[in-house]
Structure 1
Amino acid sequence: MKAALSSVMENQLQNNEFLRDVLEGLGGNRKTLPCKYLYDEVGSRLFEEICDSSDYYLTRNEADIFAIHLDKIAERIGPEALLIEPGAGNCEKVEALLAALDSPKGYYPIDISPEILLDAERRIKNGLPGMQVWSEVGDFTQAAVWDNLINIPSRKRVVFFPGSTIGNFEPLEAECLLELFASNLSPGDGLVIGTDLVKDSVTLERAYNDSDHITEKFNLNLLQRINVELGADFDLSLFAHRAFYHSLRQRVEMHLVCLKSHSVSIADTKIEFIEGETIHTENSHKYSIAGFNSLLTRSGFEPVCFWQDPAETYVIHYAQAI
Structure 2
Amino acid sequence: MISSTDPTTANPIYFHDYHPTPSDLRAEVLAGLGRPRKQLSPKLFYDAEGSKLFDAICELPEYYPTRTEIAILREHGAEMARRLGREALLVELGSGSSLKIRVLLEALQPAVYMPVDISSEHLQLSAQALAATFPKLEVHAVCADYSTPFELPVDDHSHPRAAFFPGSSIGNFEPAEAEQLLRRVGTILGPEGRLLIGVDLIKDRARLERAYNDAAGVTAAFNMNLLSRINRELDGKFDLARFRHEAFFNAEQGRIEMHLLSTCDQDVDVAGETFRFREGETIHTECSHKYSVEGFHALAGRAGFQPEQVWTDPEQLFSVHCLVHRP
TM-score (norm. length: structure 2)? 0.88
Partner residue, 2:99: 92
Are residues 1:36 and 2:40 paired?
no
SS in 2 for 1:134: strand
Partner residue, 1:7: none
Q: How many residues of Structure 1 are paired with residues of Structure 2 in the alignment?
A: 307
Q: Does the 8 Å CA contact 1:89/1:117 hold for their aligned counterparts?
A: no
Q: Does the 8 Å CA contact 1:84/1:108 hold for their aligned counterparts?
A: yes
Partner residue, 2:243: 239
Q: How does 1:126-137 map to 2 (within 5 A)?
A: 126-137=132-143
| 1:248 shift after superposition | 1.5
2:117 to 111, 120, 136: 111
| 1:121 shift after superposition | 1.9
2:281 to 270, 277, 280: 277
Deviations 1:213-248 (A, max 9, x none): 111111112222223333333332322111011111
| 1:105 shift after superposition | 2.4
1:66 to 70, 73, 76: 73
Q: Does the 8 Å CA contact 1:263/1:270 hold for their aligned counterparts?
A: yes
SS in 1 for 2:138: coil
The 4+ residue runs of structure 1 with deviation greater than 4 A are none
User: Unpaired runs of 5+ in structure 2?
Assistant: 1-18
Instruction: Sort the Cα spacing of 1:41 and 1:181 in 2 relative to 1 into closer, same or farther, 3 A.
Output: farther
SS in 2 for 1:319: strand
2:309 to 305, 310, 318: 305
Q: Does the 8 Å CA contact 1:15/1:229 hold for their aligned counterparts?
A: no
Instruction: Sort the Cα spacing of 1:309 and 1:128 in 2 relative to 1 into closer, same or farther, 3 A.
Output: same
Instruction: Sort the Cα spacing of 1:14 and 1:266 in 2 relative to 1 into closer, same or farther, 3 A.
Output: farther
Partner residue, 2:156: 153
Deviations 1:132-179 (A, max 9, x none): 222233432111xx33x1435241221211111111111111111111
Query: How many Å separate the matches in 2 of 1:135 and 1:228?
Result: 32
SS in 2 for 1:188: coil
Q: Over the residues paired in the alignment, what is the CA RMSD in angstroms?
A: 1.9
Partner residue, 2:128: 122
Q: How does 1:37-56 map to 2 (within 5 A)?
A: 37-56=44-63
Question: What letter is aligned with 1:268?
Answer: G
Question: What letter is aligned with 2:134?
Answer: L
Query: How many Å separate the matches in 1 of 2:283 and 2:76?
Result: 40
Are residues 1:254 and 2:261 paired?
no
Deviations 1:259-291 (A, max 9, x none): 233223332322222221111111111111111
Deviations 1:295-314 (A, max 9, x none): 01001111111111122221
SS in 2 for 1:317: strand
Instruction: Sort the Cα spacing of 1:319 and 1:292 in 2 relative to 1 into closer, same or farther, 3 A.
Output: same
More helix by share: 1
Partner residue, 2:22: 14
Instruction: Sort the Cα spacing of 1:188 and 1:15 in 2 relative to 1 into closer, same or farther, 3 A.
Output: closer
Query: How many Å separate the matches in 2 of 1:223 and 1:152?
Result: 43
Deviations 1:68-98 (A, max 9, x none): 1010011111122122122223433111111
Partner residue, 1:5: none
User: Unpaired runs of 5+ in structure 1?
Assistant: 1-9
Query: How many Å separate the matches in 1 of 2:240 and 2:117?
Result: 27
